[in-house]
């Protein structure tokens, strides 16, 4: 029986596997193109991991504005568990109050609860898409792209497609109207020539 064997081990210890998934989630959230290339098993393991974090940000967005600051903070802290905390081992220089730079995990959390939570506020799941790429040259590992859906590049392409379809339909209408005018003109000329022959 396969009881309690839900996930792939990915050839790693549990600590290494959790660290790997956190790094992949951070890379996906912080990615400029909102997509990363990885192996197919890693992408399939990352999908539910990162979607849970996005669901937490969605829940925070749907909270009422007044009186829910504690709940929003709780959701934010829960989502922080999906990323590396960062800034813990920042060296302190005596006599200098230097604030350490934000790490990728903190930046990912900020983006998750800002831009992405707002984008997926009305979407009840399915925030990522996995596209297969084929096999890698060196070791024949199957590669895949995992990306966030409804990204700006995708929306831009849909709008361009709509514009092209609209332009094509208006061009068709215009050419149809010109044909109709030309046919009407030809019919008028042929009727005029018939009447002159009589």
How is residue 113 written in tokens? Answer: 């609860």
Residue 139 pLDDT exceeds 80: yes
Higher pLDDT, 68 or 56: 56
pLDDT of 198 above 80? no
Q: Where are the alpha helices (DSSP H) in the chain?
A: 14-30, 40-61, 69-80, 104-111, 117-119, 152-197
The predicted structure's pLDDT at residue 65: 81
92 confidence band (pLDDT: 50, 70, 90)? low
- What is d(CA 121, CA 127) in angstroms, rounded to the nearest whole number? 11
- Asked if pLDDT for residue 126 goes beyond 90, the answer is yes
* Mean pLDDT to the nearest integer, 132-146: 95
If you average pLDDT over residues 5-22, what whole number do you get?
93
Contact 183, 171 (CB under 8 A): no
> What's the mean per-residue pLDDT of the chain?
86
CA nearest neighbour of 120 among 36, 67, 52: 52
Q: Which of 45-49, 54-58, 192-196 has the lowest mean pLDDT?
A: 192-196
* 104 vs 190: which has the higher pLDDT: 104
Above 60 in pLDDT, residue 94?
Answer: yes
Contacts 24+ apart (CB under 8 A), 48-51: 49/21, 49/24, 49/25, 49/82, 50/24, 50/25, 50/82, 50/127, 50/128, 51/125, 51/126, 51/127, 51/128
142 has pLDDT over 70: yes
CA-to-CA distance for 77 and 89, rounded, in angstroms?
19
Q: In this model, does residue 178 exceed pLDDT 90?
A: no
Percentage, residues of the chain above pLDDT 90: 54
The helix (run of H) or strand (run of E) holding residue 146 is strand 142-148
Burial of 129 per CB tally in 10 Å (0-12, 13-18, 19+) = middle
- Percent of the chain residues topping a pLDDT of 70: 82
User: What global pTM score does this model have?
Assistant: 0.75
The DSSP symbol for 31 reads -
State the DSSP string of 53-106: HHHHHHHHHTS-SSS-HHHHHHHHHHHHTTS---STT----TT--PPPPPPHHH
Look up tokens 């990352």; give the residue: 46
The pLDDT value given to residue 85: 73
């Amino acid at each position: 029986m396969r009881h309690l064997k839900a996930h792939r081990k990915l050839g790693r210890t549990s600590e290494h596997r959790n660290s790997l998934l956190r790094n992949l989630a951070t890379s996906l959230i912080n990615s400029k193109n909102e997509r990363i290339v990885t192996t197919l098993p890693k992408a399939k393991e990352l999908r539910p991991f990162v979607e849970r974090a996005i669901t937490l940000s969605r829940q925070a967005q749907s909270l009422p504005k007044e009186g829910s600051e504690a709940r929003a903070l709780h959701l934010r802290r829960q989502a922080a568990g999906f990323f590396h905390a960062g800034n813990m081992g920042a060296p302190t220089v005596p006599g200098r109050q230097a604030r350490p730079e934000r790490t990728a995990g903190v930046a990912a959390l900020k983006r998750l609860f800002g831009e992405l939570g707002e984008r997926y506020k009305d979407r009840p799941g399915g925030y990522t898409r996995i596209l297969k790429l084929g096999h890698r040259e060196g070791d024949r590992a199957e590669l895949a792209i995992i990306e966030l859906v409804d990204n700006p590049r995708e929306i831009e392409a849909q709008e361009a497609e709509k514009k092209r379809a609209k332009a094509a339909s208006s061009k068709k209408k215009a050419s149809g109207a010109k044909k109709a005018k030309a046919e009407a003109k030809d019919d008028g000329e042929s009727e005029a020539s018939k009447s002159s022959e009589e």
